[in-house]
Structure 1
Amino acid sequence: MSAAGHTDWREVPIAVERPGVIGWARVGLRGGMLGLVTYGGLVLLLVLRLIERPLFGQARPITPFITQGVCKLAFVLMRLPLTVSGRPMRQKGAVVANHSSWLDIFTLNAVQRVYFVSKAEVAGWPAIGWLARATGTVFIARKGTEAKAQQELFEERLRAGHKLCFFPEGTSTDALRVLPFKSSLFQAFYSHGLDRVMFIQPVTVIYHAAPGQDPRQYGWWGDMAFGPHLLMTLAARRQGRVEVIFHPEVPVDAFPSRKDLALHCERVIRASHSLAVE
């Protein structure tokens, strides 16, 4: 309980029901096809990367299209509609988005070609870690002693033309709220002249629950286990929908500091998210 006597939103779990016979059938069909497409795509990506890397080095002119194609197909297989408004920027820069679920990875990969920035622990997760490493995810450690090395890694990837995708909230939510943005990762955009050539695009991801379902249906937060949430998503008789809004990009040097830039992105994303979930 909070000091005011109200239950913290993080402490209120989603009721996850065991799938019935038909639900398990959906899990088997959807999960089987999703696994085949995902890991079939991974094998193809790794084979092509053996050719791509010697020829292009850090640049990846081919393999990101495989990642995007797999993620688009994932929504078709899950029967989960995905709509997009606005368009991805063409300038060199980075993307910042709110973070609600493991589904964000599929969502944001489906609508554009980006490389995620993730906490280092994810690299060791079974299945998910393999996918993250293969698709070029940048892993960061939450240690102040590694800040300089991480800064250099960000700069290297940004200068290679990679669009990095950050989740400035630092954690996922119940899909009903946007948490305050942390500005520390924005510092990478203010080094060695990057601020004069880079743009940042705020992107809002909104999950609409199916009629009659818990409005937090697609949220994934706190100590929630991945397996049961995945099963719940695959077993759902009726799916909701996912909405992605690309907001106008802004030049980094239009903001005097990382805190000002982070606050701008937070306000833009929070405003559109609040309107959609009311």
Structure 2
Amino acid sequence: MRIGPFGWLVVALRLPVLVVVVFGGLLVHLTLRLFERPVFGLRRPVTPFVTQGVCKAALAILGLRLRTQGRPMRRRGAVVANHASWLDIFVMNAPQRIYFVAKDEIATWPGIGWLARATGTIFIRRAAREARAQKLTFEARLRAGHHLCFFPEGTSSDGIRVLPFKPTLFAAFFAEELAGILSIQPVSVIYIAPKGRDARFYGWWGDLGFGAHFLRVLAQPRQGRVELIFHEPLPITETSDRKALARACEERVRAGLAAHLPDGVMAR
């Protein structure tokens, strides 16, 4: 999509404010961590509120309306959702305080990698030799009361479909000493495109470059909206294994997406 003169004006107005809010928030976050880390260790009783405030402000600057249905869980465990866009970072953080699980390559990305590291993201390598170390990291963070958030599809989609959920990361939640107190909450993320735009407008997938997609979204004068459906949490003890849990979460997320996209839009 080509950006016209008015679109570039919108970019010029939004981008500086977004940069100030995001990186100003990062500075506040890092300053608070100087005191939070030595006193509380893994626990982060203060800085997640900064992250949440920055994400709410970022969505307001972009003009992207957020609607929620259901409530984020309070019990210990993790949140899983379908993955459609870099916008998911702001969208998922705005109504709740979570810590993302992401591919290790993201840690090296300029800007985004710094933000992810500062806000407590867990970076993982998809290699068998790393599985045990990653499992121990998950367990330590869960014991500290962190709500982890990951995208079981393993990659982003076009926003109008749900890819098969991979069960690998679900294994950590079946640790014998943790399973009895943990739950997984499935969340459906539904992007509704601006009027007149392709239904996949907010989707960032395939060979779409981040810069081009970022500018396209930023240049859109009147945005669409995003809806989050918080489904009932699934206690670990009520599922037999990681594959069954991944399948149950996928079914709920897929059903939520199908129920809230406009008729005839969802791809199978």
**TM-score of the alignment, normalized to the shorter chain, above 0.5:** yes
Match of 2:132 among 148, 154, 157: 148
CA offset at residue 217 of structure 1?
0.3
Give me the whole-angstrom Cα distance separating, in 2, the residues matched to 1:33 and 1:177. Answer: 32
What's the counterpart of residue 46 of structure 1? 30
After superposition, give the CA deviation of every residue in 1:89-136 in whole Å (9 maximum; x if it has no partner).
110111011100000011001110000000000000000000000000
Provide the TM-score with structure 2 as the length reference: 0.96
Counterpart of 1:12 in structure 2 is none
d(CA) in 1 for partners of 2:4, 2:167? 45
2:246 is matched with: 262
Question: Which range moved further: 80-89 or 20-29?
Answer: 20-29
Count of residue correspondences: 262
Q: Which amino acid aligns with 1:85?
A: Q
TM-score (norm 1): 0.93
Give the counterpart of 2:61 among 54, 77, 94: 77
Identical aligned pairs, as a percentage? 58
Q: 2:218 maps to which residue?
A: 234
* SS of the residue 2:53 aligns to: helix
Partner letter of residue 26 of structure 1? V
Q: Which runs of 5+ in 1 are unaligned?
A: 1-15
CA deviation vs aligned residue, 1:180-227 (integer Å, no higher than 9, x gap): 100010000011321111011111110000111011000000221111
Q: Structure 2 stretches of 5 or more lacking a match? A: 264-268
Of residues 89, 94, 99 in structure 1, which corresponds to 2:78?
94
Residues 214-253 of structure 1: pairs in structure 2 closer than 5 A? 214-253=198-237
Cα-Cα RMSD: 0.7
Candidates 108, 115, 125, aligned match of 1:131: 115
Q: Deviations over 1:34-57 (max 9, x none)?
A: 110000000000000000001100
Which of the residues 111, 120, 123 maps onto 2:95?
A: 111
Which consecutive segments of 4 or more residues in structure 1 shift more than 6 A? Answer: none
State which of 156, 169, 173 in structure 2 corresponds to 1:185. Answer: 169
Q: Counterpart in 1 of 2:153? A: 169
Q: Per-residue deviation at 1:237?
A: 2.0
Partner residue in 2 for 1:197 = 181
Report the secondary structure of 1:118's partner residue.
Answer: strand
In structure 2, the partner of 1:35 is 19
